[in-house]
Amino acid sequence: MTKPMLSMIVGKSTALEMWLCLKDNFSQHSVANATNIRFQLMDMSKGTKSISACLQHAKSLSDSLAAICEPVSSTDLVTTVLRGLGSNYAMIVTTILNFPHLPRFEDLRARLLSYESQLQRTRSADSSTTTALVAFQSPSPTANMTHGSFYGRGQSRGGRNGHRSNSQGRGHAP
């Protein structure tokens, strides 16, 4: 027995008194611990974590509660995970909630990993398209070297309205 445990049973004269004292002390810790773990589970959100890390954290919390005889039902675990996914996952959450039954946690994991993979491919494709569009629309370094730059403001090679004239505009090269 450890010193802290011995200090708890000082003054107890029978084994039953000692046992009850230890049981009461440790059950209070278990209640506090279970409450703390439940709060963590209820407040869980995906944030910047991957789906895999998020689901692993949820399962770890659920397993911790099961270890102290406070198991979380599969439905409660699935509901908690779905609630914490955030707006990027709203479409799949809505789809899952519209099925007649919630999936088991293991099935949810497969669906969410697949959806995360699809999101990453879509973002990658969108990023490539945006980069290509920006590159296509960006002016080239010589874009400012238009005809007007050589022939003066408002002048072009053809003069006004496309008619040639003999008058020279300001900045006109001879």
Q: How many CB atoms lie within 10 A of CB 153?
A: 9
CA distance 171 to 169: 6
pTM across the whole model:
0.57
pLDDT for 92-149, tens place per residue?
A: 999 999 999 999 999 999 999 999 999 998 887 766 555 545 555 555 555 555 555 5
Nearest to 34 by CA among 68, 60, 59, 58: 68
pLDDT for 17-40, tens place per residue?
A: 888 887 777 665 677 788 899 999
Contacts 24+ apart (CB under 8 A), 149-152: none
Q: CB burial class (10 A; 0-12, 13-18, 19+) of residue 122? A: exposed
